[in-house]
Structure 1
Amino acid sequence: MCEFNDGFILCSCEFNNEEINTQDDSKIEYIWELRILKSKELAIGRTVPPMEDIGSGLNSEWVLLYLNSEQCFDFNYQPEEGDNLVIYPNTKGYYNQNIRYLSFIFKEGSWQEDFYDELGELTKLKSRKYKGKIKTTYNKSK
């Protein structure tokens, strides 16, 4: 099983485009996306907020600590005000139904646990290059 407790890299590498339909966490890839606010609209309804823990050591407190203290991206990236980092498992139905994901917004010079409510705050992918999978920095030779 892939654990992210020792750190992680937000890799811009390719990932499996087919969602995995499994309950076995050891086979799940975790995906990240950088999104930006596209528009605000008046909407009525409910949305499910991000979770605090999506498994494999990816919990909001740990990810936030790591985001604000390390260079987590495998490319040169400087966050901009309002950037939204979303992390979710690449399994059928999870992100599409807003059930199991983490979300962070860059505000006032640091990453904060927050999300855009997709009912009234529509987002879009910042750029095609700002999407990939999460790799652990765990060294098996330890």
Structure 2
Amino acid sequence: MTTLYITVGDREQLRQDALQFVQDVEPDDLDEQDGTATLQFGTYDDFVDSLTPLRLELIRAIADATPESMREAARLVDRDISDVHSDLKQLEVLGILTLEEGESSGAIQPVVPFDRIEVHIDYPLIGGGDSDGASVNYPTLLRSGR
């Protein structure tokens, strides 16, 4: 089973984790995949802006039904193709899915390479938030062979 782990919180810890990942990874490890990937968001706001309920529904529909085109994916969730296209492009940037050229039709096929998504949110209630008040614009996707 391939799982996408999504973490949200502590910007400094995310930076340290990313640096540690880069230091620990061996060049040969980049080619080996054991089904583990981590997508890290710096703030809760970044997370909810990127993974809206409509996008989560779209991810689930694609993983479940494996549509052969963007148009078919839009039909699965009963949404306008242009809105779905935009969401698919954003989800591709995040690394949650890939957009592949279809075999016979040439249509672009959305593919979710994960069977499951697990989310961990670090949301401090006291003295919470980042000290600098800035938000992270681009989450980090780390893949490891661990």
TM range (shorter): under 0.3
The structure that is helix-richer by fraction is 2
Q: Provide TM-score, normalisation by structure 2.
A: 0.25
Q: Provide TM-score, normalisation by structure 1.
A: 0.26
Whose Rg is larger? Answer: 2
